[in-house]
Amino acid sequence: MDFDFPPEDDPRRLEVRAWIEANPKPSGRDLVAAGYVVPHWPEPYGLSADPMHQILIDDELRRANVRRPGNPIGIGWAGPTILLAGTEEQKERLLPGLLSAEDIYCQMFSEPDAGSDLANLSTRAVRDGDEYIVNGSKIWTSGGHYSKYGILIARTDPNVPKHKGISYFICPTDLPGLTMSPIVDMTTAYSFNETFFEDVRIPADMRIGEEGDGWRLAKVTLANERVSLSSAGSLWGAGPSAEKLLELVRDAGGIDDELLRQKAAALHTEAEVLRLNRLRTLSARLNGQTPGPEASIQKIMADEHGQHTMEFAKELCGTAGLIAGSGPPGELPLSMRSGATEVNFERDAFEDVDPIWHYGFLFSPALTLGGGTFAVQRNIVAEMVLGLNREPNLEKGMTWSEARRAFKA
Ligand SMILES: Cc1cc2nc3c(=O)[nH]c(=O)nc-3n(C[C@H](O)[C@H](O)[C@H](O)COP(=O)(O)OP(=O)(O)OC[C@H]3O[C@@H](n4cnc5c(N)ncnc54)[C@H](O)[C@@H]3O)c2cc1C
C-alpha cells in the first residue's frame, strides 16, 4: 500500500463532520445537495472530489452511520452514462431523482438470445415522430417490479453492422404495452422479471446520446456494473464477508476437523488477496495512475470467493445443512431456514432473508453469471490484459472439430 490516510484534523474531514452535525438525519435529497452521494462527479451533482477526498467522505459518513440512498443500477450504472452522454435538460430532469433514490432504476439489456453476445439483441425501436415504438422482450430484469425507469438498449437500425444499430433509452416502466412477468429463482425469491414490449411508445427525449451510439454507452454502463459488482463482501457486496463467517466460527469455539480448518485458512487467504488487490487499485488511483490488470481480475476472483464463502458456511453445518428448515442450534449460529419470498436488493433485502447463509448458498451460482459470465471475463483478461489473440467468431451449431479449426485459423 503506497499511501497514507490524512490526519484526523484534515480540514476536508472536519467539513464533513460539521455538515453531519448540522444534518444528523439527512434525507436522500440533503445528501444529493451536499454532493455526498457521488462526490467524484462534477458540480452541481458532486464535488469533483479526488480519490482521497472521497475516502474521507465515505469514512465520515460511515462513522456517523449515515447511509447513502440505495439505487445501485441508477446511481452506479445508469447515472455515469447519463452524465456522459445526456443533454443538460436530461441531466436536470433525471439525475436528482436518480441520485436521491426516489426513482429506482432497473436494467433492460439481456434477451433470451442476447446475453454474453449482447450486441445480438433483437428488441426493435422504430422512430415515429417524437416517439419510438418498441417491440420485443427482455429477460432477467432485476428489480423491474419496483423500478420507475429501466435502462433499455434496442435496435434502431437493422441494416448496419450489429454494434452500430443500437440506441440507449431511459424507459419509464409504467408505459402502456410494457408488462413484466415474475421469475422466481431457486432461492424462492422473486427478484427478476421477463419484460415484454408491445407497441410501447417511448418519448424520443428519453433517448440518451445519438441514435446508433447505444453500444458505446452500454459498454460504459457495463464497465461501471463490473466495478460495483466486485466490491468487498460476498454476494456482490450485499452479503456478509468471509471474515464475518470466520468470526462466527471463532465465536463458536473454532473447528477441530482438519479438512475444515484447511478450508477456513484458504478462505482467509483468498479474502486477504482480494483485500490487498483492492488496495493496489486504490493506491494506483490515489497516485493518479489508471488501475491495471488488478481491476480486471477483481470481479473474477471476488465472484468465485463469494461462492467459496457460501459453500463453506453450508459445509460447516454438516449434514444438517442439507435440510432447509433445520440447522445445528447451539453449534454455529447458522440455522438453515428457507422462506425468502421477495428479495429487494435496493432496500436492505437481506434483513428479510433468514438466514443469509442459506440464501447466499443458493444464490451464489449466479455470481459468476450476472454482470458478464466467468468465461467472458476470462476472455476479456486474455485479450485486453494478456494481449492474447481475439477469440474467433464461432458460428452457432459448429462441431468441436470445426471450432478447433476456426481457432487455429
Ligand atoms: C442474478 C442475476 C441478475 C441479473 N440481472 C440482470 C438485469 O437486471 N438486467 C439484465 O439485462 N440482465 C441481467 N442478468 C443477465 C446477465 O447479464 C446474463 O445472464 C449474462 O450476461 C449471461 O448471459 P446468458 O444468461 O444469456 O448466458 P449465455 O451468454 O447464453 O452463456 C451461456 C454459457 O456460455 C458461456 N459463454 C458464452 N459466450 C462465451 C464465449 N464467448 N466464450 C466462452 N464461453 C462463453 C457462458 O460463460 C455461459 O456459461 C442477470 C443475471 C443474473 C445471474
The answer to whether the beta carbons of residues 215 and 156 sit under 8 Å apart is no
Centre of ligand 1 from the C-alpha of residue 111, in Å: 10
Range with the poorest average pLDDT among 35-49, 288-302, 376-390: 288-302
Mean pLDDT of 363-387: 87
Q: Probe ligand 1: pick from 168, 368, 369, 407, max atoms within 8 Å of CB?
A: 369
- Cα 160 from Cα 169, distance rounded (Å): 19
Range with the poorest average pLDDT among 214-228, 272-286, 335-349, 384-398: 335-349
Centre of ligand 1 from the C-alpha of residue 226, in Å: 13
Which atom of ligand 1 is closest in space to residue 144's alpha carbon? 8
* Global confidence as pTM: 0.87
Confidence of residue 344 (pLDDT cuts 50, 70, 90): very low
Which atom of ligand 1 is closest in space to residue 373's alpha carbon? 47
Q: What is the mean pLDDT of the chain?
A: 84
Q: Probe ligand 1: pick from 77, 110, 234, max atoms within 8 Å of CB?
A: 110
Confidence of residue 327 (pLDDT cuts 50, 70, 90): very low
User: b/e map of 267-288 (b: 16 or more CB within 10 Å)?
Assistant: beebbeebeebbebbbbbbbee
Range with the poorest average pLDDT among 77-91, 259-273, 346-360: 346-360
Mean pLDDT of 338-354: 35
Range with the poorest average pLDDT among 143-152, 290-299, 303-312: 290-299
**Sign of the CA dihedral 15, 288, 85, 385?**
negative
User: How many Cα atoms occupy the beta-carbon half-sphere of 272 within 13 Å?
Assistant: 7
pLDDT of residue 173: 98
Mean pLDDT of 180-187: 87
Q: Is the pLDDT of residue 352 over 50?
A: no
Which atom of ligand 1 is closest in space to residue 110's alpha carbon? 11
- Cα 333 from Cα 358, distance rounded (Å): 12
pLDDT digits (tens, 9 = 90+) for 196-246: 999 999 999 999 999 999 999 998 888 777 665 556 667 777 778 899 889
Identify the residue whose C-alpha is closest to ligand 1 atom 52.
370
Centre of ligand 1 from the C-alpha of residue 368, in Å: 9
Which atom of ligand 1 is closest in space to residue 379's alpha carbon? 42
Q: Is the pLDDT of residue 325 over 50?
A: no
Centre of ligand 1 from the C-alpha of residue 192, in Å: 14
Assign 3-class secondary structure to the chain: CCCCCCCCCCHHHHHHHHHHHHCCCCCHHHHHHHCCCCCCCCCCCCCCCCHHHHHHHHHHHHHCCCCCCCCHHHHHHHHHHHHHHCCHHHHHHHHHHHHCCCCCEEEECCECCECCCHHHCCCEEEEECCEEEEEEEECCCCCHHHCCEEEEEEECCCCCCHHHCEEEEEEECCCCCEEEEEEECCCCCEEEEEEEEEEEEEEHHHEECCCCCHHHHHHHHHHHHHHHHCCCCCCCCCCCCHHHHHHHHHHCCCCCCHHHHHHHHHHHHHHHHHHHHHHHHHHHHHCCCCCCHHHHHHHHHHHHHHHHHHHHHHHHCHHHHHCCCCCCCCCCCCCCCCCCCCCCCCCCHHHCCCCHHHHHHHHHHHHHCCCCCHHHHHHHHHHHHCCCCCCCCCCCCCCHHHHHHHHHC
Q: Is the pLDDT of residue 353 over 50?
A: no
pLDDT of residue 329: 32
- Cα 347 from Cα 143, distance rounded (Å): 11
Which atom of ligand 1 is closest in space to residue 114's alpha carbon? 26
What percent of the chain has a predicted confidence (pLDDT) above 90?
53
Centre of ligand 1 from the C-alpha of residue 250, in Å: 37
Centre of ligand 1 from the C-alpha of residue 370, in Å: 6
Centre of ligand 1 from the C-alpha of residue 252, in Å: 38
pLDDT digits (tens, 9 = 90+) for 153-167: 999 999 999 999 999
pLDDT of residue 39: 93
Q: Is residue 44 reached through a cis peptide bond, with omega within 30 degrees of 0 on the bond before it?
A: yes
- Cα 60 from Cα 53, distance rounded (Å): 11
- Cα 371 from Cα 75, distance rounded (Å): 16
Confidence of residue 349 (pLDDT cuts 50, 70, 90): very low
Centre of ligand 1 from the C-alpha of residue 354, in Å: 28
- Cα 101 from Cα 27, distance rounded (Å): 10
Q: Probe ligand 1: pick from 113, 116, 120, max atoms within 8 Å of CB?
A: 116
What domains appear along the chain, each with residue ranges and CATH number?
11-68 (no CATH), 102-212 (2.40.110.10), 230-372 (1.20.140)
Q: Beta-carbon neighbour count of residue 329 at 10 Å?
A: 10
Whole-Å CA distances, 145 to 106, 191, 351:
9, 8, 19
Which atom of ligand 1 is closest in space to residue 394's alpha carbon? 41
Confidence of residue 345 (pLDDT cuts 50, 70, 90): very low
Identify the residue whose C-alpha is closest to ligand 1 atom 32.
116
Mean pLDDT of 103-110: 97
Residue 237 phi/psi, 5-degree rounding, is: 85, -10
More confident position, 198 or 352 = 198
Q: Which of 70-79, 102-111, 393-402 has the highest mean pLDDT?
A: 102-111
pLDDT of residue 3: 67
Centre of ligand 1 from the C-alpha of residue 116, in Å: 5
Which atom of ligand 1 is closest in space to residue 391's alpha carbon? 41
Q: What is the CA radius of gyration of the chain?
A: 23
Q: Is the pLDDT of residue 305 over 90?
A: yes
Pocket of ligand 1 (CB under 6 A): 106-110, 115-116, 140-142, 192, 366, 369-370, 372-373, 375-376, 379, 391
pLDDT digits (tens, 9 = 90+) for 38-83: 999 999 999 999 888 988 999 999 999 999 999 999 999 999 999 9
CA 230-282-67 angle, 5° bins:
65
Q: Which amino acid is at 266?
A: A
